Structure 1
Amino acid sequence: MRVLCSSTLIGEFFVIGFAGLVAMKDDSLATATVWTVCGIAMLLSVLLCGAITRPGGVQLGWALQIALVASGFFVPVMFFLGAVFAVLWWASVHFGRKIDTIKADWAARQAAEPAGAQGSVGPDAA
């Protein structure tokens, strides 16, 4: 799960940065405010990469997804991009957990086999 979720979060890092550039064009938004908010969101997306497997990591990721969709009120294209990344986040969590389960089952089977019978074929062999 960690790899899939981290990939999504790094993609969001770049999207948030580009959204900040777009938001700077809006005369009603202060540049300092735009970059403070974008900077915090970008920092959160990077920090979540390391904290995703800890308690509350996935929930913080969902909070970031909600914030991305809500940023559409300032940069309208973020309604669409936020929704896309929310779907990617769901897929990363859902399929990442399935992959983790499959890897754990495979590791348990490998540990249960006699030492001479272990082969090199597994989920990471490719």
Structure 2
Amino acid sequence: MSSKDRPAPGDRIAPKKSALVQFTSLTLQLEAFCVAFAAVALYGLRGSLYEKGPISLSDPTAIWIGGGVLFVALLVLSRLTSRPVGVAGGTLAQVLVIATGLVLPMMYLVAAVFVIMWAASLRIGARVDRERREYDAAHPETAPNV
């Protein structure tokens, strides 16, 4: 990095994207792809002896529509995490992903991991944002332009 790329003392820096938005968005995006892979696994396992979940899906159309709708919903919600509706929708999506365990029991484990990631994203993201605001309030000369 050359010296002209670095800010001079007293220069204001550009505002950073919210850590809460970044963490929750990434969690939902990763979860969307896990749901897509689960749909592929369920499609491959249909009609097998393994398919012993409480709900049996042997119709490929139902598998692809259900998996596709949840995949798209998670991706759309990942873009809305900067709004309260996105965070609430993401929390509701965690319940829906847990419910996929009724069809593919291994999804209970995957969903548990994502619920923990979601809770950590909310908690740590909010803490990082709060600490950034406190730092900016204590150092107004370097606070980002709003």
TM-score normalised by the chain length of structure 1: 0.83
Higher-RCO chain (CA-CA 8 Å, sequence separation at least 6)? 2
2:39 matched residue in structure 1: 20
Give the number of the structure whose alpha-carbon radius of gyration is greater. 2
Partner in structure 1 of residue 64 of structure 2: 35
Q: Deviations over 1:86-119 (max 9, x none)?
A: 01000001110101111111222222x4xxxx5x
Larger fraction in helix? 1
User: Which residue identity lines up with residue 105 of structure 2 in the other structure?
Assistant: P
1:29 and 1:69 map into 2 onto residues whose CA distance is: 20
State the alpha-carbon separation in 1 of the partners of residues 136 and 70 from structure 2.
Answer: 37
* Identity within the alignment, %: 27
Name the counterpart of 1:122.
none
Give secondary structure in 2 for the equivalent of 1:52: coil
What whole-Å deviation, never above 9, does each CA across 1:35-71 have from its counterpart, x for those lacking one?
Answer: 1111111111111121112122211111111111111
Partner residue of 2:127 out of 88, 91, 98 = 98
Q: Could you tell me which of 94, 105, 118 is aligned with 1:76?
A: 105
Cα distance in structure 2, aligned partners of 1:55 and 1:10: 18
1:121 equivalent in structure 2: none
Tell me the distance in 2 between the aligned counterparts of 1:2 and 1:84: 19
Q: How far apart in 1 are the matches of 2:91 and 2:59?
A: 27
Provide structure 1 residue ranges, at least 5 long, that are not aligned to the other structure.
119-126
Alpha-carbon distance, 1:15 to partner: 0.5
Amino acid at match of 1:100: D
Give the match for residue 7 of structure 1. Answer: 26
Q: Which runs of 5+ in 2 are unaligned?
A: 1-19, 48-56
Q: Which residue of structure 2 aligns with residue 61 of structure 1?
A: 90
CA RMSD of aligned residues (A): 1.6
